[in-house]
Copies of this chain bind each other. A is one copy, B any other.
Amino acid sequence: MKISARNVLTGKIVDVKKGATTAHVQIDLGGSIITASITNEAVDALKLVSGMTASAVIKASDVMVAVE
């Protein structure tokens, strides 16, 4: 599958924390950590566990820019 989302950043999962319905998955991109808030169902469907190679996928319209 190829997707229109312009941002695909690949790293290694370092934490998966399931809540009541919503899970937080942290991916180490080689120094910086990115946090994804996804459904518990997605964690189960993709069998996400620490140590797996995974990508953070982000639509360009969901990215803001900040400067000092």
> Looking at chain A, what size class is its interface with the partner chain?
35 or more
Confirm or deny: A35 has a beta carbon within 8 angstroms of a beta carbon on chain B: yes
Q: Give a binary string over A43-68; 1 marks a CB under 8 Å from any B CB, 0 the rest.
A: 10110100011111111111111111
Residues of B within 8 A of A41 (CB): 6, 24, 35
Interface of A is mostly: strand
Mark A residues whose CB is within 8 Å of B. 1-9, 13, 17-25, 27, 29, 32, 34-39, 41-43, 45-46, 48, 52-68
Residues of B within 8 A of A57 (CB): 3, 63-66
A64 in contact with B56 (CB, 8 Å): yes
B56 in contact with A65 (CB, 8 Å): yes
